[in-house]
Amino acid sequence: FVFLTKFLSFNLANGIITNSTKSLKGINFFLFNKKKVKLIFNPYLKKPNKKYLKKKKKNHVLAIGRFTKQKNFPFLLNVFKDFHNKFKNYKLILIGSGKEKDNLIQQASNLNLKNKIIILDWKKDLKSYFKNSKFFVLPSLYEGSPNILIDAIDVGIPCISSDCSGSDDILMNGKMGIVYKKNSKIHLLKSMIKMHEKYDYYQKNSIKHMFSSSRFVIKFQANKYLRFLSKFI
């Protein structure tokens, strides 16, 4: 039923806008006329960050998002346990809100990491957490295009993300971090170890390419929407 619905709706549409390369490939699978699809990244940032704030980083791994199954934070906590066994001086900072918060707090306690996994309520201003942390991890099972990853690259923090939709586009196919196979404990653990061991390399790359966040500025991307939609007026 889902397959048939997509096949009919996609092919009957005059035009289709998608926000990631992975989604584009999925949509093209159903289409006879592949020219009707337009890839436009999320119009998300009011303006790109213009300078990198040099600060001494704390040994913090940062993760931000809703405390739901989609965001896959229990998986991240289990992987962090193994990472922490090798690197005792690291903490995991988890920021968000949702019904799974109490379960995550209990899981941290069960892992004997209650003092090493800090779970905080959602913050309106997240920049200080991005700037103080060594690297950012997005463990999501699926996304459309993860805006929180755009926030991360905009301040030049090295990132690790699952291969959910949009992550390759935002991280420029690995230029601004590491994309791992989603829900693979081994792949994420290896990625975190690699990020720690080659941190200077990933930090320099993240700073070098941080201005790529201009791809997600509202003014530029909204104009692309308007130009595309004007074809059908």
Average predicted confidence (pLDDT) for the chain: 95
Nearest 5 degrees, angle CA 140-CA 152-CA 199?
95
pLDDT of 227 above 90: yes
pLDDT of 53 above 90: no
Residue 50: band (very low, low, confident or very high) from pLDDT cuts 50, 70, 90:
confident
The residues that bridge with 96 in the sheet, in sequence order, are: 121
What's the pTM value of the predicted model, to 2 decimals?
Answer: 0.93
pLDDT at 54: 72
| Nearest Cα to Cα of residue 168 among 22, 32, 46 | 22
Nearest 5 degrees, angle CA 136-CA 142-CA 147?
50
**Residue 34 three-state SS:** helix
Q: Which residue has the tokens 């949009």?
A: 166
Q: What is the pLDDT of residues 127-171, one digit of tens each?
A: 899 999 999 999 999 999 999 999 999 999 999 999 999 999 999
H helix runs in the chain, sequence order? 2-12, 21-28, 73-86, 101-110, 127-132, 147-154, 167-170, 185-197, 199-208, 218-229
Q: What is the pLDDT of residues 65-96, one digit of tens each?
A: 999 999 999 999 999 999 999 999 999 999 99
Residue 184 tokens read as 């693979």
| Nearest Cα to Cα of residue 151 among 123, 193, 185, 119 | 123
